[in-house]
A and B are shown apart, each in its own frame.
Chain A
Amino acid sequence: MLLILKHELLKTYLKWRTYIGFIAILVLVPVAEVALKLEGGSMIQRMTRGIDEDFLLVGNLFNGYFVTQFIMNALWVHIPFLISLVAGDQLAGEATGGTFRLLLIRPASRGRILLTKYITTLFYAFTLVVFLALVSLGLGLTLFGSGPLLVMGKTFTIVAANELAWRMALAFGLATFSMWCVASLAFLFSSLVENAIGPIIGTMAVIITMLIISNIPVEVFRSIRPYFFTHYLTIWQKALDDPIPWKTIGNHLAIIGAHCIGFYIITWYIFVRKDILS
């Protein structure tokens, strides 16, 4: 099993396609951060307009953590797209390349091969989120320095600078979980077709449709929002709440986990019965 996993990882990480996501992050994050740097603190001023009449805001609020938090909003659509590029290719790519005929005639069971591919997919999502963290935080702290984090929502919270290292680690950890859900969906779609384009389009179509429905200000749509996994893509924001809502995080993680397991079981059911005709 470990040997198969090792080769699955090698296959994925020796493929040019795998690095599209990393390159995209390496281009987009610096561009966004440099643009924010050029714009100066006007963004913070706009966000704190009204608040600064009642509160005295001191310290460097326009800092690397704030910029990273801003960039993490890419976890709605951009990062899922990059993840589906690889996750959607895991099974469909083998079908397109005809290499299922190489793999599935061997003693290793389809279930075992599928599991190693799924672990590889999750590992890819993990490395992409870690890379996003390293680039956005590394460059952010270099360009903007450190300081407390202003979190704007229905209320506003300021998280002390000395807490931010572990809170950011927690936020990216939770983001990884939510991206695993996206990866699992793309992986499921990948088992259905023989071309990697389909899973990418399918995954993005599901995410965008769910996001649009969730954001329509009608009560009936609001009430079904918790049933959409996209509702939990922002779980990382909970790591920046004060106090941290551990119970809510636990519930959301359980729901994300249930989605991942559900998607995987469906994929397994399809894959072990699938006739390989490619």
Chain B
Amino acid sequence: MPSDIVLRTYALGKRYKERWAVRTLNLEVPRGEVFGFLGPNGAGKSTTIRMLLSLVTPSEGRVELFGLELHKHRHDVLSRVGGLVERADFYPYLSARRNLEIVASLIGGLQHHAIDEVLELVGLLQRAEDRVKTYSHGMKQRLGIAQALLGNPELIILDEPTTGLDPQGIKEVRELVGRLSSERALTVFLSSHLLSEIEQTATSMAIINMGELVVQGKVTELLSTGESFVKIDARPFEETRTLIGQQRFVKSVKHINGILEVSMPLDQVGTLNRLLVHAGIEVHSLIPRRSLEDYFLSITEGTTDIR
């Protein structure tokens, strides 16, 4: 019976001279899920992905895919994995089809229709014979996903696939990732530096910062655990504070630079808003926040050192 965990790392680490890019990383990616790998730029996401795909040799620890150690079973393991590492780079003087044929030759060769199928999936079949140098960035990213899908992998690893795309391109890639997971029962390992992207796409997630794992688990659980609060900017100030403080669902109220920070369940935000408006209070802004989101924002802004 296949394991429920398709990817597992054991104390994985990579050191460049004296600097640890990744250290003691223990990840578990459940089968069939979209796993978000979140971290600010320079957190060690790409280094981790390079180790998962055998581009970089770990300095410590090991990678296990489908229950097999990557180092010892490289061929068997990578036959079941597709990947797109950072920007999608191809041979610009060759057609998209020829580029995919090159990738297919490294898998052992694929039928013509298999290449057509992945090109169709990413909406590039009509442009298959065009040279890649005529492609836009978004088309190259889609072609990057197409090559990752060659050989019907069970797991695809995508490293920030939406980077540099316009909003429409981002939407298309997100929808494609969702379709791959639901229709093809693929496990998707998706790295991003945007919490919103992971929130919208992933079912499980891990956060990495400064090369170390911060937290991992189900997206819904991680985003619901911990304190939730609402930042409120309303006038008159004292009246607002008094009214809010009288509500049963409110745990505490803090005053920070003219903004009220109200600790409360997020499902009561609508109720609170209605109360304030009915009381004739002028609400300038009302921003629901979760501690994880704030925490992630703080590390991405470089204001918190998690060590």
Contact = CB atoms under 8 A, between A and B. Distances in A.
Partners in one complex: yes
Interface of A: 3-4, 6-7, 10-11, 14-16, 97-109, 113, 273, 275-277
B98 interface: yes
A106 B78 contact: yes
Contact of A103 (B57, B87, B94, B106): B106
Interface stretch (B48-56, B222-230, B242-250, B287-295): B48-56
Contacts of A6: 105
Given A105-B78, A105-B83, A107-B107, A100 B55 contact: yes
Nearest to A16: B93
A7 B105 contact: yes
Contacts of A277: 50, 56
B74 interface: yes
25 contacts: A7-B101, A11-B94, A11-B102, A14-B93, A14-B94, A97-B91, A98-B89, A99-B89, A100-B55, A101-B86, A101-B89, A102-B102, A102-B147, A103-B103, A104-B54, A105-B81, A106-B103, A106-B107, A107-B76, A108-B105, A108-B106, A108-B107, A273-B57, A275-B50, A277-B56
Contacts of B29: none
Interface string B87-113: 101111110001101110111110000
Contact of A15 (B87, B93, B98): B93
Contacts of B53: 105
A102 B89 contact: yes
Nearest to A3: B105
A107 B102 contact: no
Nearest to A110: B54
Nearest to B89: A98
Contacts of B79: 107
Interface of B: 50, 53-57, 74-76, 78-79, 81, 83, 85-87, 89-94, 98-99, 101-103, 105-109, 147
B199 to A, nearest CB: 27
Contacts of A4: 105-106
A13 to B, nearest CB: 11
B85 A109 contact: no
B106 A275 contact: no
Contact of B91 (A11, A101, A104, A108): A11
A14 B98 CA distance: 11
Nearest to A97: B89
A38 to B, nearest CB: 40
Contact of B57 (A99, A101, A275): A275
B111 to A, nearest CB: 13
Contact of B85 (A11, A16, A101, A275): A101
B130 to A, nearest CB: 15
Nearest to B50: A276
Contacts of A99: 89-91
Contacts of A15: 93
A90 to B, nearest CB: 13
Given A105-B85, A107-B78, A276 B93 contact: no
A275 B86 CA distance: 15
A89 to B, nearest CB: 12
A106 B81 CA distance: 8
A271 to B, nearest CB: 12
A259 B285 CA distance: 74
B93 A104 contact: no
B74 A107 contact: yes
Contacts of A7: 101-102, 105
A98 B53 CA distance: 15
Contacts of A107: 74-76, 78-79, 106-108
Given A97-B91, A104-B55, 9 more contacts: A10-B98, A11-B102, A97-B89, A97-B92, A107-B74, A107-B76, A107-B78, A107-B108, A276-B56
A135 B93 CA distance: 28
A15 B119 CA distance: 24
Contacts of A105: 53-55, 78, 81, 83, 85
A190 B176 CA distance: 38
A36 B203 CA distance: 76
